[in-house]
């Protein structure tokens, strides 16, 4: 994915020039442009760029989908709500199963204690 193109699209949407980002990053225009185009930008700088642009660092990386969509097309993608719902349901089910198993263990321990007395 072309990180430079994504940055340019976000800047355009936010009506900010590239030079604004250069000043925020305290870098030279050529240095920042090359780092973005060559995808040799440091992780720390990706986080800073994301902070200045008010987007997630995930925005700059391709995960199959187009990770950044303009406001006209839709909002920023993260994991879909369906994925979170599914994970939350699975976690809830696991917690319920764990609680049920703990209760069974307590019951078994009581039975064992009663058998030892008899």
From residue 89, alpha-carbon distances to 61, 77, 97, 99, 102 in Å are 28, 21, 12, 15, 20
Q: What is the pLDDT of residues 56-114, one digit of tens each?
A: 888 887 665 555 555 554 544 444 566 677 778 888 888 888 988 999 999 999 999 99
Strands (E), the chain: none
Place of tokens 């994915």: 1
Cα–Cα distance measured from residue 7 to residue 18, given in angstroms and rounded to the nearest whole number: 9
Coil vs helix vs strand at 32: helix
Predicted structure pTM score: 0.51
| H or E element in which residue 56 lies | none
């Amino acid at each position: 994915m072309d990180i430079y193109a994504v940055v340019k699209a976000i800047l355009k949407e936010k009506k900010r020039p590239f030079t604004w980002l250069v000043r925020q990053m305290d870098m030279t225009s050529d240095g920042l442009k090359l780092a973005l185009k060559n995808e040799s930008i440091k992780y720390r700088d990706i986080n800073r760029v994301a902070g200045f642009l008010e987007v997630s660092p995930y925005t700059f990386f391709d995960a199959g989908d187009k990770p950044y969509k303009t406001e006209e097309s839709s909002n920023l993608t993260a994991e879909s709500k369906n994925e979170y719902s599914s994970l939350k349901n699975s976690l809830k089910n696991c917690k319920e199963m764990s609680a049920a198993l703990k209760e069974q263990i307590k019951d078994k321990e009581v039975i064992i204690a009663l058998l030892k007395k008899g």
